[in-house]
Every structure is written in C-alpha cells, then in structure tokens.
C-alpha cells in the first residue's frame, strides 16, 4: 500500500466537528429545560448528562482512536459483529434489557445504560468496508454480494425485533450506499433494492402502528389528536419560528406540547427558537462538516480507508436527513435521533468515536 503518514489530523474537519458539537449542546440545553425540570427538579439535568456522559466520554474516545491506525480495526470486524448480535439479543433478557414505550432497545447493567443498536451501526460499517476491500468488485452475486447481505440482514432484522424500524433503516441505507460506492453491480443492487422495498411494505403492513404512521404521512388530518399529533405539533413549531424565531430559550412547544422535544423532535424546537435563517446557517455548517469528511475519505490511501471513511460519514448524514425530513413532514416518522443534537449518550459516544477513525484516516494521504 502506498501511503504517506502526516503528523496531524485534518484540523478543519476537527474544528467543524467541535463547532457542531457546541451548537448541538446549546440547542439541547434550551430544548431540555422543561422536561428536565418536570422529571428532576432542575433545568440542567439532561444537558449535564449529555455533556458529561456523552460528549466528554465521546471526545476522549475520539482523541484516542484518532491516534490508532485505522487498519487496526480490521482485526475486530468479526468480533464486533458477534458482539453486536449478542447485545441485540440481551435487550430481550429480563433484568438486563430495558423496555420503554413498547420497545426493548436498551441494556441496563448497574450504572451502565446504552443502546446496542448504536454499536451495531458502527459494526456494520466496519464489516461492509472490510468485506468490500477484500472482495473488490466481484461480479458473482454468490461470492460477492450475498455474504455481505446475509450479515447486514441479520443485524437489521435483530434491530427490527426490538422493535426499532428507524435504526434498521439507518443500518440498511448506510450499508446500501457503501455497497454502491464500493462498486457493486447496479443490476444486483437494483434487484436487492426492489426486494427490500417489498419487504419494507410487508413490515409496515403487519404492524398497525407503522401503517398508521404511513397513513398520517400521506394525510396529516387523520386522527389529529392521536397518531398525527406528533407531526402536526412539530410542523407547527417549525412554521411558527418564522425567519428569526421566538428567541433562544423561548420555545412554546417544549412546554409539554411537542412529544420527544429532546429526542427525535429537537430540530423542531431549534427551528421554533432560532428561525429559518439561523437554522439554514446550522445546516450549512453541517454540510461543510459532511463534505470535509467525504473529502478525507476520498483521499484515503487504500480501498478500506476510502470505504470506511465514506461509510462513517454516510451513516451520520443518513440519520440527519431522515430525522429532519420526518420532522418536516417530508418523510414518515421513524424515531431516528438527530446526530449531535438529540439527547442520548450512546449515540453521541459512538458518533464521536467513529469520527476518531475519520480523523485517523486524515493523517494519511494517497
């Protein structure tokens, strides 16, 4: 492999990452005040928890991983997949798995509380990059694409079993983008995409609440005080923000009107308080971060680095597009958090840790 190591990471990418992280914390700090006070008697609980147990741990992980040669992670691809499968099973084990709102998506062991799906997302990205770097553009479906689809499918189905359709879609879409970038035959991908779309329709059909979400997406006047309440309140928050917003900290919807104000709906609170102009500035910042990360991936010295870096960035971008699209009513609600902004330590730690890999890739030039 022809590679030339530099002595420093890409400081532009690092700076953009830190800028988005700070903005995300500020948005969460405001969005969480009411729910934090209602649940814990203080307006800063969720902010401090995200800062201490999400951002700080994630930044330490990012700093350490940025110094580790990204090729090192090839040794852990199979263990990562096996560990992800075990953890996804454990969410269903009593006294280990934790359930809320009809879903078992968390593992709770003493002070440790995390979502295995976040680990599974990174494991699938590592696996897909490793597989594509070894198989190349293998024309045989049996030897090229099928083994990769088997692993991705198992992880996706186990995530759906929780149930967590949003994470499953994130995993599958990210892997699909990586397969496309990795040079897999368009014909093969098209066939798989058609079969996947049919499977998704069946998945939606067999669960009434998923079918209701699709119906609501097509017609928001359906059951406005029931299944459509969430999206209607989100759109109301976004629309009421106008050009410049109500002002930081002055959201009305976060006062127990908009569900998941610190989670899936945090974008709506941000738009309500900051308005269209400032939100567009934040999206522009995120776009710059994304393009810089993709540039780092394209300049990686080998196929594994290129696909791995692109996969990590694709995973973050896919989550952001699905979250914002759903909250704006452009896509059905799926329950995917907004990277850097939504409350959740597991997601924050894994996101920052994975960006440590991208930073290490940036130390090398082709």
Over the chain (366 residues), the average pLDDT of each successive run of 10 is: 67 98 98 96 97 97 97 95 95 85 78 88 96 73 80 93 89 94 86 87 78 78 80 94 95 94 96 97 98 97 95 97 94 90 96 98 85
| Cβ(336)–Cβ(169) below 8 Å | yes
| Cβ(112)–Cβ(346) below 8 Å | no
Q: What is the pLDDT of residue 221?
A: 77
Q: What is the pLDDT of residue 143?
A: 67
On the question of a cis peptide bond just before residue 174, with omega within 30 degrees of 0, the verdict is: no
In angstroms, the Cα distances linking 72 to 108, 203, 309, 361 are 30, 38, 14, 12
Q: What is the pLDDT of residue 1?
A: 46
pTM (predicted TM-score):
0.93
Q: What is the CA radius of gyration of the chain?
A: 20
- What secondary structure letter does DSSP report for 364? E
Q: Both tokens of residue 114?
A: 């995390």
| Cβ(349)–Cβ(58) below 8 Å | yes
Q: What is the pLDDT of residue 148?
A: 87
Q: What is the pLDDT of residue 6?
A: 64
| Cβ(170)–Cβ(318) below 8 Å | yes
């Amino acid at each position: 492999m022809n590679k030339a190591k530099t002595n420093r990471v890409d400081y532009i990418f690092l700076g953009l990452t830190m800028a988005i992280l700070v903005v995300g914390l500020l948005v969460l700090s405001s969005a969480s005040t009411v729910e934090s006070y209602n649940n814990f008697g203080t307006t800063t609980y969720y902010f401090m928890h995200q800062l201490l147990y999400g951002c700080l741990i994630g930044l330490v992980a990012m700093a350490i991983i940025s110094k580790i040669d990204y090729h090192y992670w090839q040794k852990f691809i199979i263990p990562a997949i096996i560990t992800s499968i075990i953890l996804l099973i454990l969410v269903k084990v009593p006294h280990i798995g934790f359930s809320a709102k009809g879903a078992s998506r968390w593992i709770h062991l003493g002070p440790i509380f995390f979502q295995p799906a976040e680990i599974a997302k990174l494991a699938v990205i590592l696996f897909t990059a490793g597989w594509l770097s070894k198989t190349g553009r293998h024309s045989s479906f049996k030897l090229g694409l099928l083994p990769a689809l088997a692993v991705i499918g198992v992880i996706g189905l186990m995530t759906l079993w929780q149930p967590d359709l949003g994470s499953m879609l994130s995993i599958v879409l990210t892997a699909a983008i990586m397969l496309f970038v990795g040079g897999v035959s368009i014909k093969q991908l098209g066939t798989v995409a058609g079969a996947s779309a049919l499977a998704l329709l069946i998945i939606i059909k067999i669960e009434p609440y998923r079918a209701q979400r699709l119906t609501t997406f097509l017609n928001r006047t359906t059951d406005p005080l029931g299944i459509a309440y969430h999206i209607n309140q989100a759109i109301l928050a976004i629309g009421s923000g106008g050009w410049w917003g109500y002002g930081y900290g002055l959201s009305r919807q976060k006062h127990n009107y908009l569900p998941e104000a610190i989670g899936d709906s945090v974008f709506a609170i941000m738009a309500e308080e900051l308005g269209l102009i400032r939100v567009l500035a934040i999206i522009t910042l995120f776009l710059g971060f994304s393009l810089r990360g993709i540039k780092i991936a394209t300049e990686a010295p080998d196929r594994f680095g290129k696909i791995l870096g692109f996969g990590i960035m694709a995973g973050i971008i896919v989550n952001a597009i699905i979250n914002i699209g759903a909250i704006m009513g452009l896509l059905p609600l799926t329950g995917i958090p907004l990277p850097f902004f939504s409350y959740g330590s597991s997601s924050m730690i894994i996101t920052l840790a994975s960006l440590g890999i991208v930073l290490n890739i940036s130390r090398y030039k082709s």
